[in-house]
Structure 1
C-alpha cells in the first residue's frame, strides 16, 4: 500500500495549482495523492491528473480585490473577516480528513488553515510579507505579525525564490526579518513548464487571459490594435472559452486563440521569443524557467503584481508598464535586459522539497521508561494505552521497571506488555528505577520519555512530539515536558488546578507525570539516587546545561488525580512545594516518598 500525502491548493489564481503540480506529479509515482482545492484550480488539477488522485472540494477565501475607491476598502474589511471564519472551517476539515486518511504530511499552497498538530505540515508561500494597498501601509506591522502567527502553525515554509537578498525574484515579499524566527527554505522556482528545443517562430506572444475580463476588458482590443505596429508574428491567448481561433483580416501576422491549456500552452510558450503578460508570480517563474524575455502589465489594484513589476523592472530583469497607460512601441522589445539565471530551476527545486519532507516524515525513535512500584491498579491500563499509539511499532519501545513491588505489578506488566516492550526488576527507589531503565534504552533511541505508571498518553502523542521536536530541532532541545490533564476527575476544580500546575511547570521549567530527554545524553546525566522525591527537578536542571527546555502543549497526556483526591488539592500543592523547594535541598531528601495507591 502506497503512503498517502495530502495537498491543499488555493484557487485564488491558477498559479497556485500550476506550480504545485510540478511537485504533485513526482509524488504521484510513489504515493497515494489526495488534493483539497476548489474552483478553477480544482478543475485544472482534475484535468491534469485524472482519476489517479483523490479530490476534495473545499470553499476558498474571498479574493480581496472587489470594488474600487472607498468601496474597495469596505469590501476588504468584510472579506478579511470572512477569511478568518473560512480558515477555521478549513482547519476543521483538514483535521478530520487527516485523521481519516493518515497522510505522511500536509503540503499547503496558499491555504493557511491546512495544518494539523500531529502530522508534518508545510506551506508554499512567496508572500511572506504582503504588498499593502495604498493608504494601508500603517497596518503593515500588524499584518506581518498576523502572518508570522499563521506561519508558526507549519513545520516549515517552502519559499519558491532564492535566498540571495539582492539577486532574487520576489524582493521584500519573500525576504523579511521575521524569517529569522521561522523554519524556512528557499527552494527555488516552481513551474509546470519545461524548456523544449523548439523553433522560436512566434515573435511576440500575448498572454492576456484571466485578469483582463474582470479588470480591464478593453485592454485586449487595445493591445491587438497596437500589435499591428510591431513586425513579425504575434499570437494572442485571450483566456476566452467562447471564441474561435482566427486571424485579423487586415493583418495576417496576428493570430488570436481564445483559450489554450495543457501541452498546447507549453508549446506556445516554448515557441515565443518575447511574451507580454500580467505580472503574477507564477507567470514570472514560468518565464524564468523557460528563459524568455517579457513585458509585464500588472493588473491595476493587484498590489503584489504591481510591486513585482516595479521590483523586476528596476533590476532590469523584465520590462514593465502600467495597465492604465499602455503604449507599445517596436523599440520596447529590443531593449537590453539582464537575464535571471538562477543556480537551479524547477527540477532541483522539487528534489529539495522532497528531501525536506523525507527528513520530516522519518519517525524518530522513542523509548518510554515507566518506573512502577505497587501499581497493579494502573499499570495495565497505562500499557494498553501505549498499545493504541498511532505510531510505527518499530520506532518506539516500552520499558517497565518494577522496583520493589509487593503486589502484582510485575505479573500484570508481563501479561499486558506488547511485542515492543520489556519488563525488568530493579532495587526499590524511583531514581534507581529510572537510571536502570536508562541503561536498557535501545542504541537507536532518539528520545527517552519517563512516564509515571498512572499516566496515560493518547494515541497521537508520539506523532505530536515527533513533529514538534523536528520542527524545533535548531533550538537544541535537551529536555522537556508536556501539558498534563486530569484522568479520572474531570471536575472544574480539577481542570483549574491542572491548568495552574501546567502554567507553573511551563514557567519554571519543571514537570510532573512526564519528562523526556535526548537519549544521546543518557551517559552524561543521571537521576540522583539519593533523592526519593522531586527527583526530576535536579535531573531537568542538569540536562538544561546541554540544551534548551521545551513544553509541548497537547491534549494527549492524562494522569491520575488519586493523590489530590486523597490528600486534598490545596494540601497536596503545599506539600509538593515544601518537598521540592525546601526538603529536596536538605538531608531529608533521602526520606521515603509517601506512596498513595
Structure 2
C-alpha cells in the first residue's frame, strides 16, 4: 500500500529561475507529506539535484529554443513556435510513460506546457498570463491561454492586488482556472553585517549570460570595494579573485541567501524569480534586462518607474552607471500575505 502520494514537479530549463522558484514549492510538498519526484534538464536539473539530493529525478528533453544574434529575441522565439509546439507534444507523450512508471498522483509544471494530464490533477505555474510581445500579441495570448487551459489549475506567483509583475500577471480571461499564490522565494530575511559592496548575479540563457558576465567582470575588477560575482553555473566548482572582486561559479540556496543579505547592492537580470527574491529580502538592486527578452524589458521598466529598482540597459554597463543614484530606488515594503498551502495543495487529495 502506497503511504504517500507521488507529485511530479517539472520546471522549464530556461536559465535557472523556474527551478529556483520551485524550491519553496517542493519544501511545502514535503512538509505536507507528499513524495516529490523532480523532472527537468540542464542546469535546472543540476541545481535541484544539489538542493534535494535524496529525491528521485527524471531527465526530460529541453524545448531547445535557440537565439540568433542577427534577430531580436522575440522574433527568434516567434519563428520557432512550430518547433516549440512539437516539443510540447513530445513532452506530453513522455509524461504518459512517467505517470505509469513512477505512479504519479499529481503534477506541478513550471512553464512546461506539455506536462498536463486528463487523468490526474495538473497545475501550471506562470506569472505571465498576459505575455508582452512587440508583435502578434493577440496571437501569442490565444496560444498561451489555450495551453494553460489544459491544466486543472494555474498558480500565479504574485499578489492579486498591487502585484509586482504588473500587467503580466493579471488577465480578464475567465476560461482559465487561476489562483494567486503570492510571490515564491526560497530565501529567508534575517539580519547580518554587510560584507560586500556589490553582489552581481549572472543568469539567463546563452549567449547573453556570458556577455553580461564579461561586461560586469570588466567593470567590477576596477571597483575599490569588495564585490562578489556569481556565474550561475551549478554544474561547476570554481573560485577566482581579481583585485577586490571574487568570482564564484555557484552558491547553494543557503549560501546565496546569506550573500544577498550581506551585500549593499545587487546587480542582476530582471528575471521574475530573482525579483521575487529581492522583494522577499527587501534589497536594493540594479536590474539589467536580457536584450530582446520582452518580459524582462517590461518588468525592469515597470519596477523602475514604480521606484523599486534602478534599471539600465546592457550596453550602458559601466561602474558609474551601476552605482550612482541607486539609493533613490528603495520603495519595497514588507507584505504579510501568507499563502494557505493546506487549501492550495488539497487539489492533490481530492
- TM-score normalised according to structure 1 size: 0.54
Matched, 1:174 2:169: yes
Question: Which structure has the larger Rg?
Answer: 1
SS at match of 1:282: helix
2:309, 2:326 within 8 Å by CA — same for their partners in 1? no
The 5 Å alignment of 1:27-426 reads 27-29=29-31, 30-50=33-53, 52-63=54-65, 66-70=67-71, 75-132=76-133, 134=134, 136=135, 139-164=136-161, 167-178=162-173, 180-210=174-204, 214-215=207-208, 217=210, 219-227=212-220, 232-239=225-232, 241=236, 244-248=239-243, 254-262=244-252, 263-329=254-320, 330-344=323-337, 348-349=338-339, 352-358=340-346, 360-363=347-350
Is contact 2:221-2:245 (8 Å) kept? no
1:496-541, Cα deviation, whole Å (9 max, x unpaired): xxxxxxxxxxxxxxxxxxxxxxxxxxxxxxxxxxxxxxxxxxxxxx
Per-residue CA deviations over 1:252-301 (Å, capped at 9, x if unaligned) read xx222231221322221121121011111101011111111100011111
> Shift of the alpha carbon at 1:323?
0.7
SS in 1 for 2:47: helix
**SS in structure 2 opposite 1:299?**
coil
Q: CA deviation at 1:75?
A: 4.7
Aligned residue pairs: how many? 342
* Residue number in structure 2 paired with 1:487: none
Task: Report SS of the residue matched to 2:19.
Answer: helix
Q: Deviations over 1:190-231 (max 9, x none)?
A: 1122223221222221223555x6227454454345447766
> In the TM superposition, what whole-angstrom CA distance separates every residue of 1:321-341 from its partner, at most 9, and x where no partner exists?
111222343432332431143
For 1:577, the equivalent position in structure 2 comes to none
Q: Which has the higher contact order (CA 8 A, sep 6+)?
A: 2
Change (3 A) 1:118 1:228: closer
Instruction: Give the 3 Å change call, closer, same or farther, for CA 317–27 of structure 1 in structure 2.
Output: same
**Could you say if the C-alpha distance between residues 44 and 181 of structure 1 is closer, same or farther in structure 2, counting changes exceeding 3 Å?**
same
Query: CA-atom RMSD, angstroms?
Result: 2.4
Give the match's secondary structure for 1:24. helix
Deviations 1:545-570 (A, max 9, x none): xxxxxxxxxxxxxxxxxxxxxxxxxx
Matching residue of 1:496 = none
Instruction: Give me the whole-angstrom Cα distance separating, in 1, the residues matched to 2:121 and 2:226.
Output: 49
Structure 2 unaligned segments of length 5 or more: list them.
none
CA distance in 1 between counterparts of 2:221 and 2:60 reads: 44
Query: In structure 1, the residue corresponding to 2:145 is in which secondary structure?
Result: helix
Gaps of 5+ in 1: 249-253, 364-597
- The SS at the match of 2:277 is helix
